């Protein structure tokens, strides 16, 4: 029993030490990315909370640039929550089809707007669990709304975030979005989370790329990045 207890204590010490190292690394990465991308923000254009909900649903397996074009036609025809909630799903699908997965996205958007109209008086709820309960809204979308619309602590684990935090050594070969999110909450200061994730998107597009070899030679993190999975 003493041996098991001793092993458990040693394991906890190792985990605590590793977490401290990752916290220090995270703080340094945050500061450097702030310098490199001072104006990072969400690349989906919106001027009301419900529009960001719509856009983030459309952005699944679609570029933000295309979503920003498609929603212009959608909002021209259905300019508010009431109009979109009352719209025929087929009419929504015809407009959003260029974003891919049109039928499922149209159904989710319609159902989501109906809930916001009927349960929240046309206003997007300022509560993470309430957002998560909306049709078509997952943790990534709920965190984006909490951070960008309501200025609350948020960590958005999109594909850029997951790839980069693994590559940098902030998490260890973990790809499941919720697991990555939970680990990042332990090492990222809450007030930094939302902006940090936006900067990861910019860095992932410009330097730490996925489809080409990353441009490590001009990376602001080259001396502290673990470069996990990057060929020499």
From 90, 86, 66, select the one nearest 78 (Cα to Cα): 86
Q: What are phi and psi of 161, to 5 degrees?
A: -60, -50
From 108, 140, 148, 195, the catalytic residue: 140
CA dist., res. 44 & res. 85, Å (int): 21
CA dist., res. 141 & res. 46, Å (int): 14
CA dist., res. 92 & res. 106, Å (int): 6
From 64, 80, 127, 158, the catalytic residue: 158
Task: Supply 116's token pair.
Answer: 């916001």
Task: Supply 200's token pair.
Answer: 């990861």
140 flagged as catalytic: yes
Site of tokens 């309430």: 130
CA dist., res. 120 & res. 85, Å (int): 13
CA dist., res. 199 & res. 41, Å (int): 8
Burial (0-12, 13-18, 19+ Cβ within 10 Å), 14: exposed
CA dist., res. 179 & res. 176, Å (int): 5
Going by the DSSP 8-state scheme, the letter that residue 208 receives in this structure is S
Residues in the chain: 232
Active site residues: 140, 158
């Amino acid at each position: 029993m003493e041996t098991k207890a001793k092993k458990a204590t040693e394991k906890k010490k190792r985990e605590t030490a590793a977490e401290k190292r990752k916290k220090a690394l995270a703080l340094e990465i945050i500061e450097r990315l702030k310098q490199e991308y001072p104006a990072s923000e969400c690349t989906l254009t919106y001027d009301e909370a419900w529009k960001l909900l719509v856009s983030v649903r459309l952005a699944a397996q679609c570029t933000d640039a295309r979503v920003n074009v498609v929603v212009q036609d959608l909002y021209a025809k259905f300019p508010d929550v009431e109009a979109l909630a009352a719209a025929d799903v087929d009419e929504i699908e015809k407009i959003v089809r260029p974003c891919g997965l049109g039928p499922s996205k149209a159904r989710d958007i319609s159902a989501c707007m109906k809930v916001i109209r009927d349960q929240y008086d046309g206003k997007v709820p300022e509560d993470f669990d309430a957002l998560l309960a909306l049709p078509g809204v997952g943790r990534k979308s709920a965190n984006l709304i909490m951070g960008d619309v309501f200025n609350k602590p948020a960590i958005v684990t999109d594909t850029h975030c997951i790839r980069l935090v693994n590559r940098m050594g902030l998490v260890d070969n973990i790809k499941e979005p919720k697991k990555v999110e939970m680990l990042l909450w332990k090492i990222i200061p809450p007030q930094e989370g939302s902006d940090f994730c936006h900067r990861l998107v910019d860095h992932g597009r410009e330097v730490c790329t996925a489809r080409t070899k990353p441009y490590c030679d001009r990376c602001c993190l080259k001396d502290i990045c673990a470069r996990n999975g990057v060929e020499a």
